[in-house]
Amino acid sequence: MRITLRLAGFVLAGLATFFVGVFLTRALVQRHREPSAWQVLLSFENQDLEGLDAKSSEVLQKAVTAVTGHASKNQHHNNFLPRIFRTISNTSGEKRYILVEEAPLMMIPGNSWLRVHVFDTAGRLLNEQEFNAGYRISLSSLQIRRIEAINSEGLIAQGLSVFGGHFLSQYYVLSGNQIALVYLETDGLFDRNQHMTIGPQIQRSVDEWEQALHSEHDTEVLTALLWLGSEEEEGSILSSREQVRKRLFELSQSKNFWIKAATQPIISKMMLAEPSH
């Protein structure tokens, strides 16, 4: 009898171990089969994210929330909606993945907003930036393409001003892992970024802005010219330096049309500020 009970105990213990093993194995296999949030996001690469059906949009938003740690709401109480997910090369030629989200203009007065996340090719989040894309500006197009004027890939945001119907274009590049605004157009002509109200805010000292102005890279020069032409108080300090004035006159003769166009308003302002003799 004792032998029978002992044998039954061994059998029951063996069966319990077997079933636990089967359960754990199935759970691990199932977990292995489920794609990660990054893998789900990759499945939407290069797609028209505005044209997705409701179910696909829900799947996408869950993946975006998981990889970024953000819900669709931002501090400005607008909904951020995924618009672009694809690869982009930064100004050093390094491959990155970029996720661009838009919080559209919802009311007047108001602003359009963009949020950009940058990832390496393994899905590691490298940077996040949220910025104003224009007061009373309704964006109509967001795209990544090569910009011949600066020989680099960039993010191009285009839209219309609600009052006046003027067509605006904003050109951004990925410098390292940071998005930077390099050029603005209104109705096809260069426009100043007055008081730096559009695009990410770049925190630099006056000396660092001067270094950027003397850079060999056109994108760095353009960011400095936008800042100088924005009527920031520090810009007047910088433009009063002799070496800076000399550099600006050199840039006004640049073969790069964007650099030349962005320099001209600064030169004109400098000349008007000079005392007449």
The model's pLDDT over 115-159, given as tens digits with 9 standing for 90+, comes to 999 999 999 999 999 999 999 999 999 999 999 999 999 999 999
Confidence grade of residue 231 (pLDDT, cut at 50, 70, 90): confident
Give me the residues paired with residue 172 across strands: 155, 181
Rounded Cα–Cα distance for residues 197 and 265 (Å): 18
Q: What is the chain's Cα-based Rg?
A: 27
Residue 77: the pLDDT is: 45
pLDDT of residue 6: 57
What are the beta bridge partners of residue 175? 178
Predicted local distance difference test score (pLDDT) of residue 178: 96
Buried b (16+ CB within 10 A) or exposed e, 72-99: eeeeeebebbbbbbeebbbbeeeebbbb
Alpha helices in 149-276 (DSSP H): 206-213, 218-228, 233-239, 242-251, 257-273
pLDDT tens digits, residue range 100-120? 999 999 888 889 999 999 999
Q: Which fold has domain 202-277?
A: Leucine-rich Repeat Variant (1.25.10)
pTM: 0.85
